């Protein structure tokens, strides 16, 4: 007996069409099941008691203004950052050249340095400096806390009063740069001298001052003023200038300065 195949092109096309329709229907059915499962899972999550509790807590926080943990950390960091008030900075109105915009941290550093140039040093002011920082001007280089602290505490020991005539921040980069005009009166002889300089404040990665460079615009004049300034050199000044060791000693020195 001879077997004859009935597979014709027309039959094969029909079978292929039916197969395609079947698989397409099955695929659509599977997709529909997946959508139903996703909706079911979402519904289960939404109606879960723990989810409702979290949502209610979030709504309460939003309504009461309760900050997130991240916001709390940021707020804590901001509250611990040095400020004009926490350091006791007197020069808290910082003049900036048009187009220059200092950050709040930079303003605090500039204000603290202006206080130092005006003869108002405190340990809190110097806490804004790195222990290995440097102060430099035309006649001295003071490296390290003991030497630069002696420079700043020595200034009011030799001059009184010291008055800032003007200042303008000209650059908010690193270093911060400002133009300073300062008048000094030598104690005892009452000789007054006005000095103009460019002050550069370099800041480290930790936000502390690593260098202050005071570049005078004019030559150091002869006479009592010159002699007094030359005493403020990094070698001899620590011998006759007392730097307080703690807050109590610092407050006593401050009170004595303010009586003068």
What residue spans define the domains of the chain?
A: 12-66, 84-259
Q: How many CB atoms lie within 10 A of CB 160?
A: 16
Phi/psi of residue 144, nearest 5 degrees: 90, 155
Question: Considering only 64-73, 157-166, 228-237, which range has the smallest mean pLDDT?
Answer: 64-73
Q: How far apart are CA 184 and CA 187, in angstroms?
A: 9
Residue 176 confidence (pLDDT) above 80: yes
Please give the residue that has the higher pLDDT: either 226 or 258. 258
Average pLDDT over residues 162-182: 98
pTM over 0.85: no
Residue 198 confidence (pLDDT) above 70: yes
Residue 186 token pair: 């030598």
Q: How many CB atoms lie within 10 A of CB 130?
A: 18
To the nearest whole percent, how much of the chain has pLDDT over 90? Answer: 50
Average pLDDT over residues 90-104: 97
Average pLDDT over residues 14-40: 55
DSSP 26-85: HHHHHHHHHHHHHHHHHHHHHHSHHHHHHHHHHHHHHHHTPPPHHHHHHHHHHHHS--HH
Using alpha carbons only, give the angle 239, 241, 246 rounded to the nearest 5 degrees. Answer: 115
The answer to whether the beta carbons of residues 112 and 133 sit under 8 Å apart is no
Task: Please give the class, per CATH, of domain 84-259.
Answer: alpha beta
* Residue in 84, 118, 97 with CA at minimum distance from that of residue 172: 97
pLDDT at 257: 87
* Residue in 67, 91, 62 with CA at minimum distance from that of residue 78: 67
Residue 2 confidence (pLDDT) above 50: no
Q: Which helix (H) or strand (E) holds 228?
A: helix 224-231
pLDDT at 9: 55
| Neighbour-count burial of 108, counting CB atoms closer than 10 A to its CB (0-12 exposed, 13-18 middle, 19+ buried) | buried
Average pLDDT over residues 154-181: 96
pLDDT band at 73 (very low <50, low <70, confident <90, very high): very low
Question: Considering only 33-47, 95-109, 122-136, which range has the smallest mean pLDDT?
Answer: 33-47
Residue 174 confidence (pLDDT) above 50: yes
Residue 57 confidence (pLDDT) above 70: no
Residue 204 token pair: 């480290």
pLDDT band at 88 (very low <50, low <70, confident <90, very high): very high
Kindly tell me the sign of the dihedral angle through the C-alpha atoms of 157, 158, 164, 170: negative
Q: How many helices (H) and strands (E) does the chain have?
A: 10, 6
pLDDT (tens digit per residue) in 113-163: 999 999 999 999 999 999 999 999 888 889 999 999 999 999 998 899 999
pLDDT at 70: 46
């Amino acid at each position: 007996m001879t077997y004859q195949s009935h597979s014709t092109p027309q039959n094969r096309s029909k079978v292929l069409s039916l197969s395609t329709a079947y698989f397409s229907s099955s695929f659509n059915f599977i997709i529909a099941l997946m959508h139903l499962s996703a909706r079911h899972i979402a519904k289960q999550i939404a109606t879960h008691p723990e989810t409702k509790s979290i949502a209610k807590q979030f709504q309460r926080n939003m309504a009461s203004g309760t900050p997130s943990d991240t916001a709390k950390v940021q707020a804590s960091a901001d509250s611990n950052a040095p400020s004009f008030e926490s350091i006791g900075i007197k020069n808290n109105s910082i003049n900036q050249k048009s187009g220059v915009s200092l950050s709040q941290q930079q303003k605090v550093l500039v204000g603290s340095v202006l206080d130092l140039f005006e003869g108002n040093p405190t340990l809190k002011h110097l806490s804004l400096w790195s222990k290995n920082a440097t102060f430099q001007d035309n006649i001295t280089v003071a490296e390290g806390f003991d030497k630069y602290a002696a420079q700043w505490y020595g200034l009011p020991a030799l001059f009184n009063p010291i008055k800032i005539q003007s200042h303008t921040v000209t650059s908010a980069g690193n270093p911060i740069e400002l133009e300073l005009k300062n008048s000094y009166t030598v104690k005892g002889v009452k000789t007054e001298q006005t000095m103009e300089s460019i002050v550069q404040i370099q800041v480290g990665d930790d936000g502390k001052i690593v260098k202050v460079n005071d570049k005078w615009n004019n030559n150091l004049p002869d006479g009592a003023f010159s002699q007094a300034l030359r005493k403020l050199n990094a070698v001899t000044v620590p011998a006759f200038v007392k730097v307080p060791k703690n807050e109590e000693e610092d407050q006593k020195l401050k009170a004595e300065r303010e009586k003068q």
